[in-house]
Amino acid sequence: MKIIKLIAVIALPILISCNMVSFEKPMPLDGKTLPTFSKSLIGNYYLVDSMFDSTIYNEKYFPDIYKTKDSVKTGYVHVTISESVVKYVEVEKSYYDTTKLDMSKVTLELSSSNKKNVVERKAIDHFVLVESTESGEAINLSKKDVLKEKKGIFYVNIQNSENDWTTFQR
């Protein structure tokens, strides 16, 4: 769920702002419910990131050496908006230089896979590559989520449970 909220906040600024609150029903109550996203929003969006020494990523996959500067993390998020569904694919790659690190002290997460998340590790030359791919639906207006409009302001309501809605405002 964290990734969905992160994508909604970062990758969809056209739809929403940082104002996020939970309610029992989709908001605003007297807003007009829109069945689809605007045609001008339909398409593919990419958010690319490249940084050195990603502490969060290193803590997750390499807890014994997460403060090292001998690693590089790159990644991207691909968001696809159709008329009623927002889908995402997030890919994170982290490269670790085995010539500079004592790999005997490195704890590697085993390669794993489920429907939404795939984690692989590979040896490439003198690097260890850890690649994590997560995919899923962020918003689905045809099944559960609600898009509303009132006075030119748009509200994306994501249903967490029957009486728990997270509302993003733009």
Give tens-digit pLDDT for 128-154.
Answer: 888 888 899 999 999 999 999 999 999
Phi, psi of 33 (to 5 degrees): -80, 125
pTM: 0.69
Which residue ranges of the chain lie beneath pLDDT 70? 1-20, 49-71, 102-115
Question: What residue spans define the domains of the chain?
Answer: 2-169
